[in-house]
Amino acid sequence: MKNRIRTRLAAALAAAAGVVVLAVTPAHAATEITAQLEIGFNTGVPAARTITLDVHVPMNEYDANGYLIHGAKIQVRFYGSDPGTDQFLHGPITWYRGDHGLTAGPDGIRLQYTWEVPPGSFLNEDNGWANNGDEVYITAKFIDGDGGTISDDSNIEEGFF
């Protein structure tokens, strides 16, 4: 008798927990991600290169919050575009819920983040006498709490970084 009550109580608790989980679990799978990279030149003293990332995973606000609460993250890696194999340059840099630059809003999950690096940083992917121009892009991944992943390669930024 006692066992039966305990079982019933456990079932009720599980059901209650289930309702809570359902209330914040995203209703729709994330299927789309776009990544943009901008590299600018700060000509002040000291000079710097300004890196701006804009990664967007469209969905409604409810789902955006649900994904982030459940541990979804955005992960960014930098690559240098070259003939043949592209060179890995930097990363991964990972943003979770609450990290600066990562937001959930009416148009979905967005990462907007800017920082500066000195000239000749990891962005200087080609540093040869004959080939000093750099071609840099990012690969951005949206990884949900269960490990489901979608990714996008950004545009390529060209310059002497």
Phi-psi region of 47 (alpha: psi -120 to 50; beta: other; left: phi over 0): beta
The distance of closest approach from Cβ of residue 92 to Ca ion in the complex, given in angstroms and rounded to an integer, is 20
The reply to whether 158 sits near Ca ion by the rule CB under 5 A is no
What is the nearest approach in angstroms of Ca ion to the Cβ of residue 52? 19
For Ca ion, which is the closer residue by CB, 58 or 119?
Answer: 119
- Number of residues in contact with Ca ion under rule CB under 5 A: 8
CB of 119 to Ca ion, least distance (A): 9
Contact between 82 and Ca ion by CB under 5 A: the answer reads yes
The structure tokens listed for 120 are 């000749």
- Contacting Ca ion (CB under 5 A), which of 116, 135, 152, 153? 135
Nearer to Ca ion, 24 or 117 (CB): 117
Residue 63 interacts with Ca ion (CB under 5 A)? no
Q: In the structure encoding, which two tokens stand for residue 77, read together?
A: 């890696």
* Contact assessment for residue 109 and residue 102, using Cβ atoms and an 8 Å cutoff: yes
Please give the residue ranges that form the binding site for Ca ion (CB under 5 A): 80, 82, 124, 126-127, 132, 134-135
